[in-house]
Structure 1
């Protein structure tokens, strides 16, 4: 299964040993402010889903590793948007790694993988309108606002990018193995 390396990050597949880290991330109220903190059971279900998604669809969420320290700092990848066949870009990072451009770096690599390797026609992203940092990441990676919508029980802004129109910046994408 593919893994991606960027200038500062390694995006690798989750494994069952990642549970404790993921639970710490998913139970942090500030990190999960717009996504809702998760219980141990919900985190276990999410971890299983992250692993199964790759096996079933050849894409999914990656564990994001900060290469300088070898530390897992979040997750980023592709999944299906709630109750749709649309593929969604998603990411969550530890707050100590916010405002460093890492979500943008991981998201760009994820979009490249989705368009270039999986050959998806379109990728969407949603965010709470109040989550300015997340909206900025979505905009920085070249996705365009399309509408206001409601997903996962929340009003959100909905962005999209199409394979034929999306322009990638190659500078951050090092390799795929």
Structure 2
């Protein structure tokens, strides 16, 4: 199931992807503040309260400026915020990436894959992007597997923001062909 709702929200079988609100901040800060999640973020450890607030502000600004960005991932069954996912413009590469992070207590249930695939679909079908990339730290096997499951193809290893990553990409044509 993939349904576009008002305000560029997306509904899937188990999730609602919606813009993060200021009311989400405490839960968002606890998710990105977890060192286990944070070690996969650019900083390499959990974000402080202030860093989480700055990131949430940037996320909200992206939606206002670009009409796309990072959503909060809501578990439909519980109604709880369980993570974030969406599309992020990387100015240094002039490319759009799919990104995601799920609360540690929700790992292993396929939520990251479901949310990331829906983000790709939104980017290709609603925003008509020609290409979407994915970046994962070289040792982040779980994230690399998510990128592969949603159809992105490994292209190269690279360094960005002084971090060694694996670079994946998928074109709209490849995405459309995979949906047939």
Structure showing greater relative contact order (alpha-carbon pairs closer than 8 Å, 6 or more residues apart): 1
1:13 maps to which residue? 19
Equivalent residues of 2:24, 2:81 under 8 A apart:
no
Distance 1:164 1:55 in 2: 28
Contact 1:82 1:152 in 2 (8 A): no
Deviation at 1:152, TM superposition (A): 2.6
Q: TM-score, normalised by structure 1?
A: 0.92
Stretches of structure 2 that go unaligned for 5 or more consecutive residues are 1-6
| 1:145-168 C-alpha deviation (Å, 9 max, x unpaired) | 011011232100000000111145
RMSD of aligned residue pairs (Cα, Å): 1.4
Which of the two has greater helix per residue?
2
Determine the C-alpha separation between the residues in 1 that align with 2:143 and 2:167: 12
Per the alignment, in what secondary structure is the counterpart of residue 25 of structure 2? helix
Please show how residues 1-177 of structure 1 align to structure 2 within 5 Å. 1-35=7-41, 36-81=45-90, 83-167=92-176
Instruction: Kindly state the Cα deviation for residue 84 of structure 1 after the two structures are TM-superposed.
Output: 2.3
Calculate the TM-score normalised by the size of structure 2. Answer: 0.90
What count of residue pairs does the alignment treat as equivalent? 170
CA distance in 2: counterparts of 1:70 and 1:58, whole angstroms: 24
Runs of 4+ with >6 A deviation: none
